[in-house]
Structure 1
Amino acid sequence: MATSNEPDPRFDSQVLTYKPESIIAAIETYYKALSKLPYVEESHIISPPTSGWPNITESNFAPLEKTNTVINLLKHLPYLQNPEKEKGYAIAFGTFPIDYTAAPFREPIDIQEAKNFKPDLAWPEDAVKGWVIPLTMSEDNYWGNWWLLDTTDGTVTDWAHNNSTEADVDYAPDDPRSWRNTCGETKKLEDLLAEWRSKFESLHWVAFADPTGREKVWNDEDIQRDEDTEHCEELQAIIRKHGWPVNFKRQECKEALETWMEDHQT
């Protein structure tokens, strides 16, 4: 693990600093913003007690082989609970938040099941470092993203081992950040979440279950129009009809969206 940060070539040689309070605030702000839309329920956003989540301890999380810095961060993060959905809420395309307060991370941790919450099972040579922790998981390791938080500098990197989105800039082989060279892009967590939030609030992205019951983020940005584009526009119209963003009737809107979903079931 790096003890001091060098200029980062992926950020115009800025020297980045890990600030756990900024990570916590960014995640909380993002979840609360999502709860204003008719998908995520505010009651499913859970905040830690003052002493932190009781199951997230050095002894319980020892099998994960993570640093004390990682464990302390996870202990004080807000989480988005899974309201009996297969993978929980979709918070970006095919991307789901990991709740480290829930099974299989409850005490005692189910280490075999916990292996499903890491992206590196098929790439043992690229095992996620001890100071790095997944904040999200992809829907199926092909669709969606594993975003990995590096606690040396507060950045997140897209695992991206199954596609061609490798970043243009690599780190030197002896740089502790060189694990990112086989991954995708690296961003500051605050910037990534702000980008996603803008997409949702502008309704370019709409999160809701599709007619099959699959949790989905619809979008209107595809170059080629298809049925999904049309469905996204229908959902946008329903949300705007219910007053988004100024005089929004959230519950009425959610009921209308659920009716739309039922009407489109095959």
Structure 2
Amino acid sequence: MPSLSEISYNRDECISAVREYYNFLVGMYLDEAEVVEPPPGGWPSITTATMAPLGKTDEVVSLLRHLPYIREKNDDMYNVQTAAWCYFTNWEADASLLIRDSSCVESVKISTESASLYEILPPHVVSITKSPRDWTTLLIDTELGIGLWYECPGEVRDWPLREKVLEDPYDYEEDEEQAEWRGECGAWSIPDFFEVLKDQFRELKFVPKSPRAVVDVYISEGVAFPDMIEMLQGIYREHGWPDMEKYRKKDCLKAVQKALKERYPRLADSDWVEEE
């Protein structure tokens, strides 16, 4: 397992990891048009001035200014989930919201950092997700150079394919409150952090049930409808997943919707339209 002394933060490496993660999702289920790249020089709405109400460091602002994002819709129902039960935060949209109404800062922090963490996260840690009911909160620490999954399922925290950070937070955090929330996280170097997320899809622990919705084996449908999860896993494997050279994305997503409508109509995406 790598120690923190062997890990360092690199902004370009982090941006590349996010971009590669989106490319991976496009290969599996995501519509490529949902990914938006920053203009040269970064997103104009994301500046130290506009982001000041959030209390984040200049490095966090610089990172967010240059990240690609997923298009944000007016209704969460139509937003695209980029991990199980959560959306990756479109900080360009949130920055624009703060420009229009700075009183929204608390709601932005709660929706991204969770009700449990928004008052205690340090300025150099930023959330990259929004999640209903605080189900999935993913964070980037721009000082330590690690990605953190808050309240990470035990099966993932001990994920055998990637080496997690060696140190116990209580060994390097003097503030007990800070050590406590970090102790609830799975922690990896930033490149490995995104590989852990990809692994959840590769192993079909995260299972897309449409081009915009992802369920998992850990909570909700994975517990309440295990047969549905097994059905979806089987469909993906029948269509070549996870071998990207054999995987037939369009046919697979069509088969997923057909099976859901036949066996679990309440859980099908009623608005999904097959691409021509």
TM-score over 0.5 for the alignment?
A: yes
Q: Is the 8 A contact 1:205 1:218 kept in 2?
A: yes
Relative to total residues, which structure has the larger helix share, 1 or 2? 2
CA RMSD after TM alignment? 3.3
Structure 1 residues 136 and 261, CA gap change in structure 2 (3 angstroms): same
In the TM superposition, what is the alpha-carbon distance from 1:14 to its structure 2 partner?
2.4
| Cα distance in 2, alignment partners of residues 114 and 228 from structure 1 | 32
AA paired with 2:238? K
Correspondence 1:250 to 2:249: yes
Which of residues 214, 217, 223 is equivalent to 2:215? 217
Residues 30, 171 of structure 1: alpha-carbon distance in 2 compared, 3 angstrom cutoff: same
Match for residue 64 of structure 1?
54
Q: Is the 8 A contact 1:209 1:216 kept in 2?
A: yes
**Where in structure 2 are there 5+ consecutive unaligned residues?**
158-166, 267-276
Report the Cα offset of residue 36 of structure 1: 0.9
Deviations 1:57-90 (A, max 9, x none): 1221121121111111100011122455438333
**Identity fraction in percent:** 23
**Against the structure 1 CA distance between its residues 173 and 35, is the aligned structure 2 distance closer, same or farther, given a 3 Å change threshold?**
closer
Q: How does 1:1-266 map to 2 (within 5 A)?
A: 11-12=2-3, 14-38=5-29, 40-82=30-72, 85-86=76-77, 88-103=79-94, 105-106=96-97, 108-111=99-102, 112=104, 113-119=107-113, 121=115, 126-141=119-134, 144-160=135-151, 168-174=168-174, 179-183=178-182, 184-185=184-185, 186-208=187-209, 215-219=213-217, 228-244=225-241, 245=243, 246-263=245-262, 264-266=264-266
CA distance in 1, matches of 2:234, 2:151: 33
Q: In the TM superposition, what is the alpha-carbon distance from 1:149 to its structure 2 partner?
A: 1.3
How much has 1:43 moved relative to structure 2?
1.2
Structure 1, unaligned runs of 5 or more: 1-9
Alpha-carbon distance change, 94 to 69 in structure 1, aligned in 2, over 3 angstroms: same
Quote the offset at 1:215 in angstroms. 3.3
- Aligned residue number for residue 272 of structure 2: none
Shift of 1:168: 4.7
Q: 1:135 Cα deviation (Å)? A: 1.0
Output the amino acid matched with 1:208: K
| Closer, same or farther: CA 173–250 of 1 in aligned 2, 3 Å | closer
The number of equivalent residue pairs is 243
Task: State the one-letter code of the partner of 2:216.
Answer: W
Counterpart Cα distance in 2 of 1:204 and 1:181: 27
SS of corresponding position for 2:20: helix
Inter-partner Cα distance in structure 2 for 1:106 and 1:98: 13
Deviation at 1:256, TM superposition (A): 2.1
Q: Which moved more, 1:241-250 or 1:20-29?
A: 241-250
